[in-house]
Every structure is written in structure tokens, then in C-alpha cells.
Structure 1
Amino acid sequence: MRRQTAVIGSAVFFVGVPLMVGGIIPWLLNGWQFRPAFPGMAPIRLAGIALVLAGLPVLIDSFARFALQGLGTPAPVAPTRHLVVTGFYRHVRNPMYVAVLAVILGQALLFADVRLLAYGFVFWLACHLFVVFYEAPTLSRSFGTDYDVFRTNVPRWMPRLRPWSPR
């Protein structure tokens, strides 16, 4: 896939999936309405803002790396030609999913909405099942030893504090 095509494909996927999952669906569930803070936890709203603000640049950077370095998109129909192991991928294997989850959970804390917490759990579970049963086996077949070394050194969900350096 040419770089220009990868950038366009990633941009279209970005608008179609993470924007929908991390923005539109939470808005449909909550209307971005503030509810009374969880009992005794009014300051937790600041953590919600921090999660949203932390998730967005991770998501954008990860999408850009897929297009520019991987020469592909996050969509399974147009995968990357190269395994991406730079940027936030040096800390966690699934920074896109983690970033969207951070945005969802951040909104749950900010708006004090249990429905968004439940939605975040469902989102994480769907991602986990997709990764375990489709994505990881596909990447292992596509990138072999390179992916196996990456998988061994970089955690799936909980980011490592010190970035991993391949070879």
C-alpha cells in the first residue's frame, strides 16, 4: 500500500471507528451531561479530564504510525506491511485500544456515569477477545519472530514504564 493511500485509509478508519466508539456512542449514552459526582469523589472529575487528554494524542500518534511507518491501516482489510514497534508501541502492544478506553473511562469519571463505566468494560472485553482470537494470531503469522519478540517484551494492556527497544 502506498503511503498516501495508507494515510487516507487510516483517516477514514479513524473517523469511522474510534471517533464513533470513543465519542459518538458515549455521547448517545450520556449526552455529555454532568451527573452528581460519585459519592465523595468530586475530585475524580479531574482524573477523567486527564484520561481523555492523555488518550487523544496516543490515539492520533498510533494511527499516524500505522500509516506512515506500517504503510497500512488499523482496519483488518488493509493491514500494515510492516510491524509497528515505535512510539507508544514501545510501551504497550495495543495503544489504540488503550487510548480509546482511556477516553471512554475518562468521560465516565468526568460525567460521573456508571453506564459509561459499563460501556468501557464491554469495549475492553470486545477488544480483548478480538486481540486474543484474531489480531495476535494474524500478526504472528504475518510477522513471525519479529512479532513474537515484540509480544514477549511489550505487555498487551498495562503500559510498561520504560520503553522497550527492539534489537
Structure 2
Amino acid sequence: MLTLYIKNLLFFILQPGLVVGLIPYILLQHQLPGILNADLNVLSYFGIFLIFVGLSIALYCVYRFIVDGRGTLSPAHRTKALVVKGLYKYSRNPMYVGMLLILFGEVLFTASWRLLVYTVAVGIAFHLFVIFVEEPRLTRDFKADYLNYMNKVKRWF
């Protein structure tokens, strides 16, 4: 079980960390000193709140992958069981929802149009990836269980 936690931590840093951490940093690196020295306003505080909510959701989803799915969030080490507990009772993709909340929080905190465009592009990419890659793979892997789950739980929220 400990190795699953370590693998998931590494995959979390590499995959979501790249999307919500490194790429936004690269997009804003020249503006960062000004952003960090600016006075905080209501939108900035709400952005910070969304970042923490999104991070909490994403980490909780990783936990469910370990405990219920006995696998990782990486396609290289897939879950062995379909995860349908916790937030997965309400959304088939809460990990992506959490990541988008982090990105929208970053947009509000930084007030960056560049980051907003990136966030919308990531949201579209997530949607297309789920429809054309994840859902067909999960249908192949879990067959009727996943089809029943699809009928009961919405794709996003």
C-alpha cells in the first residue's frame, strides 16, 4: 500500500503538477513579482479559496484511487477496480473538476487573461480526452459496471 502512495505522489507531481503548476508558472513568470507584490482583493482571496478547494478535491481523488481502485492516476498503473465512492458518486471526473478549480483560482488570484485562455483550453482538452480516450477505455476495462455507472452519475457535476 505504501508503494501506491509513493507512486501516486510522483504521478500527482508529474501530471497535475505540470498542468496546474509548471505551465501556469511558465506563462506568468515575468509577471510573477508584480502579482505577488500586489494588494489582495476579494477576487484574490476567492482565487486562493478555489485553489485550496481544488487541491483538496484532487488529493481526495488520489486517495480514492489508492484505497478503492488499488492503482494510480497514471494510465501506466491503472486502477484495478472502478472507483465509485466519495466524490465519484456525484461526478465521474472529480479529479479534473479539482484541477480546473485550481486553474480558475489561479486566474482569479493573478487576474491574467493569458492564464484564463490556457484554463479554457485545458478544460476543452479534458472534456475531449474524457470522451474519446477515458470513457472508451473504462468501458473496455469495466464493461457493464462502467456503463451502469455512466447512466447513474453525470460526467462533470
TM bin, normalised by shorter chain, reads: 0.7 to 0.9
Name the residue aligned to 1:8. Answer: 6
Conserved in 2, the CA contact under 8 Å of 1:94 and 1:156? yes
- Which amino acid counterpart does residue 96 of structure 1 have in structure 2? M
Alpha-carbon shift at residue 156 of structure 1 (Å): 1.3
C-alpha separation in 1, matches of 2:87 and 2:26: 30
Q: How does 1:80-91 map to 2 (within 5 A)?
A: 80-91=79-90
Name the residue aligned to 2:150. Answer: 151
C-alpha separation in 1, matches of 2:149 and 2:45: 34
- Which amino acid counterpart does residue 112 of structure 1 have in structure 2? A
Alpha-carbon shift at residue 144 of structure 1 (Å): 1.4
- The two structures have a TM-score, normalised by structure 2, of 0.88
Name the residue aligned to 1:77. Answer: 76
Relative to total residues, which structure has the larger helix share, 1 or 2? Answer: 2
- Which amino acid counterpart does residue 34 of structure 1 have in structure 2? I
C-alpha RMSD of matched pairs (Å): 1.8
Q: Give the total of aligned pairs.
A: 151
Write out per-residue CA displacement over residues 65-94 of structure 1, whole angstroms, 9 at most, x where no aligned residue: 112210111111211000001111112111
Divergent runs of 4+, >3 A = none
Identity of aligned residues (%): 38
> Is 1:20 equivalent to 2:18 in the alignment?
yes
Alignment gaps of 5+ in structure 2: none
C-alpha separation in 1, matches of 2:4 and 2:135: 21
C-alpha separation in 1, matches of 2:134 and 2:119: 20
> Is 1:30 equivalent to 2:28 in the alignment?
yes
Alpha-carbon shift at residue 22 of structure 1 (Å): 0.8
Alpha-carbon shift at residue 45 of structure 1 (Å): 2.4
- Which amino acid counterpart does residue 103 of structure 1 have in structure 2? I
Name the residue aligned to 1:45. Answer: 44
Conserved in 2, the CA contact under 8 Å of 1:66 and 1:72? yes
